[in-house]
Amino acid sequence: MCIRDSGSPNPTEYLWDFDNGITSSMAVPEVQDYLSPGDYTVSLTTTIFQYELDQLVLNSISDNGNGDLDELFGALNPDPYIVVLDGNGSVIFTSSSIDDVESATFSDLNIILSLNFEEFVVQIWDSDTLTDDDLLGQFVISNSSAGSENFANEGSEGSYTINYEISSQFFDEELISVIPVPLVDLEYFDDTQTLSLPSEENSTYQWLLNEGAILDENMNSIVLVNGGVYQCEVTNQFGCSALSEEFVYCPEIIIEFDDNILSVESGLESYTWFYNGLEVMDENGYELPFQGDGNYAVEITTIYGCEVESEVISVVDSVTEIKFDLNFEVFPNPVVDILKIKPLSYKGELLLTIYSINGQKILSKSIRSNLSQPIELDLSSLPTGTYSVVMESSLGLIGSKIFMK
């Protein structure tokens, strides 16, 4: 039995049944989990107990050597009985006497020890007829609790037993309905740059970007345009809402060149520009003044944890950006030793150049494309990292691909 005192002033027992295979004896139980939708009957049985003085055993009785006329001045044994007083000194119980004994047991007393009082006094008396009754001893019961205790006073000693007894009992139950939580498992499709959630009938969707609602984005999928942290709040037909996990979308960084200024998206956390593989010092904004003909790249970071490098672009004649319009494939990607390059739209002589991600030239060689066999490059000595391969024809066509080693 688990008795709790939270039902003050009487000890109280609680028994919860949550209809999910779990019970509890706590007054305020833990929050429950229900793994399946449905109806469940939750019940609570509350049992309120009271303390009762059940038995008192006198092992020995003494008149402290005073003798007594009724007991022939000690020649006879006393006739004990007990009296119980509450905290106000009022008598709440008096037992019958037991004649001419040296020890006695008072059983089935069933004396309620109300917790309105912190202590009770139990007195042991000798019943006399010719003279006043004699007090043979007494003891105090403080802060009642179930169990047995010993006592000794003025030569009388023994033990007493307190038990729990049911005072009242209440039963309550309630039917609860567990409804399903909306499905918020995000899936990202790289080919379409789309985030999607399972479609649920009669559910509403609100997409968030950096914790702010995106206007008119209320379908179960969204095409990612701007970099940031995406989430979706789904509310089902029962009014239950759930928020998906966060998805960080790093922006694609494209360098634009106009009026002798190179620029990328503004509002990012940091910018590091590179010209011909070297960092441009003291230029950490989203714009870079033209440094001269050559190769340019930029590396950015965002407040939501992205680190992104742009593709390398080549600027010639001080004003012209070379377009990426020579189509080819590189594989495998990432590469271990041999990188294969297969042009798809040009047949003839090509200039192949490999750059590090910050624009530093690593390798440059002339190759010939016949559109049927891939070109193979041995990159076994190349350090681990991210690189770009650029191909240019005699017509000025140029193309670029990123690969990893």
Residue 281 lies in a domain: yes
Please state, in angstroms and rounded to a whole number, the distance separating the CA atoms of residues 80 and 136: 8
Residue with tokens 């609100």: 206
Q: Are residues 27 and 172 in the same domain?
A: yes
Q: Are residues 172 and 34 in the same domain?
A: yes
Residue 279 lies in a domain: yes
Residue 158 lies in a domain: no
15-69 residue pLDDT tens: 999 999 999 999 999 999 888 888 999 999 999 988 899 999 999 887 655 566 5
Please state, in angstroms and rounded to a whole number, the distance separating the CA atoms of residues 361 and 334: 19
Residue 160 lies in a domain: no
Q: Check residues 346 and 399 and name the one with the higher pLDDT.
A: 399
Neighbours of 275 (CB within 10 A): 20
Residue with tokens 């624009």: 359
307-329 residue pLDDT tens: 998 888 888 765 444 444 567 88
Q: Are residues 33 and 171 in the same domain?
A: yes
Q: Are residues 268 and 294 in the same domain?
A: yes
Q: Are residues 291 and 375 in the same domain?
A: no
Q: Which of 321, 348, 369 is the last residue of a domain?
A: 321
Q: Are residues 92 and 132 in the same domain?
A: yes
Residue 297 lies in a domain: yes
Residue 206 lies in a domain: yes
CATH number where 400 lies: 2.60.40.3080
Q: Are residues 218 and 282 in the same domain?
A: no
Q: Are residues 146 and 71 in the same domain?
A: yes
Residue 31's nearest CA partner among 39, 22, 40 is: 22
At 73 the pLDDT is 55
Range of the domain at 345: 328-404
Torsion sign (Cα): 21, 25, 29, 30: negative
Number of domains in the chain: 5
Q: Are residues 32 and 173 in the same domain?
A: yes
75-127 residue pLDDT tens: 577 889 999 998 888 999 999 999 888 899 999 999 988 766 678 999 999 88
251-307 residue pLDDT tens: 888 888 888 899 999 999 999 999 888 899 999 999 999 998 888 899 999 999 999
Residue 40 lies in a domain: yes
